Amino acid sequence: ARINTIVKDVLDLSRGAARPQIFLLQPWLEQALAQYRESHPERQASLFCTPTLWARFDPHQLQQVLFNLLDNAWLHGQRHEQPPKVHVSARALYQQGGALEVSDDGPGVPTDAVEQLFEPFFTTATQGTGLGLYLARELCTYNQAKLTYHRGDEGGAMFRITFVAPASATSLS
């Protein structure tokens, strides 16, 4: 099933299958995180979101990206056998753009791996396919968004999706 999902995602990418919608981000994030917790009840991420922030993105594809980033934070953010603290935040970044960030307090990405993070088939995990971050970045690109990695202010990893955030649902013509 996992391989079928990956193949379907790759095929959808090759067809440019993004169907962006405009939606208020906070309720969408609350619902997405609740769905994530249904599959992973032991994983509790904190959330901060500017209540009036809108996004223009394919909601299904944004969920795929978010879940991949959350999985990575939980799998790679562990330090000294302690579960990581994972935080999701969304805020306005500029006049009509926002940022959705997933961060953890773990060791961060090794310096020698940063350049290859978004390359297909690059993985540091024994069970990974190396396609997760590559597909996440491509899904962002198809939605006129950008996925980047940043070292956290106090260590850890932070992945930022920078996206179009119209002021309201009526701002696009």
Its pTM stands at 0.83
Q: Is the model's pLDDT at 131 over the cut of 80?
A: no
Contacts 24+ apart (CB under 8 A), 98-101: 98/25, 98/50, 98/53, 98/54, 98/55, 98/162, 98/163, 98/165, 99/160, 99/161, 99/162, 99/163, 100/25, 100/29, 100/55, 100/62, 100/66, 100/160, 100/161, 100/163, 101/158, 101/159, 101/160, 101/161
**pLDDT for residue 127:** 65
134-156: average pLDDT: 88
Q: Residue 7: which pLDDT band, with cuts at 50, 70 and 90?
A: low
86-100: average pLDDT: 90
